[in-house]
Amino acid sequence: MKQPLQLQINGESRQMLVEPFYSLLDCLRDEAQLTGAKKGCDEGDCGACTVLMDGQPVTSCLVLAHSAHHADITTIEGLASVAALSPVQRAFVEHGGLQCGFCIPGLIMSATGFLQSNPNPTEEDVRFAIGGNLCRCTGYARVVEAIMAAAAEMRAAQ
């Protein structure tokens, strides 16, 4: 039976009725109507469902929705303001770090979480940080370029 659940999503408190066996991903997509996080494998392997919990990237398909009430959850919908994309989103656009786009919300959430704690990464650090995100189109080269460029821009803006 669905149970009441209050989650902090993108700075808003959301009250929902959620099945006890729902993953955070199912809760975000089916109950909160936030479909940016994608269901690729539903096994934690592809990273398309990545969101931030208290700033840390997690595969939301492996999180029990009801266990997440303590955390600040950020989804791809929470990054851009009305006026502007986030620096990471903008860098993906400017560097062509995307093709079909299915994996991109997850990649951008991984990159965003990573750059918050590692503002000055090497390319090797970036590749390690996105090791849990599968992309079958880009070959990752421009994705890595975009994340390095976003890091440089965010450092310059400090």
Would you give the binding string for another protein spanning residues 84-123, x where CB under 8 A is met?
--------------------------x--xx-------x-
Min dist CB 41 to another protein, Å, is: 10
3 state SS of 17: strand
Q: b/e per residue, 19-40, with b = 16+ CB within 10 A?
A: beebbbbbbbbebbebebbbeb
* Residue from 6, 12, 17, 56 binding another protein (CB under 8 A): 56
Query: Closest Cα to residue 47, out of 114, 108, 115?
Result: 108
Q: Round to whole Å and give the CA distance between 69 and 38.
A: 21
Query: Closest Cα to residue 115, out of 83, 142, 139, 79?
Result: 79
Single out the segment in contact with another protein by CB under 8 A; choices: 46-54, 77-85, 87-95, 145-153.
Answer: 46-54
* Residue from 14, 30, 35, 62 binding another protein (CB under 8 A): 62
The residues that touch another protein, with contacts defined as CB under 8 A, are 3, 19-21, 23, 42-45, 47, 50, 53, 56-59, 61-64, 66-67, 70, 110, 113-114, 122, 124-125, 128-129, 131-134
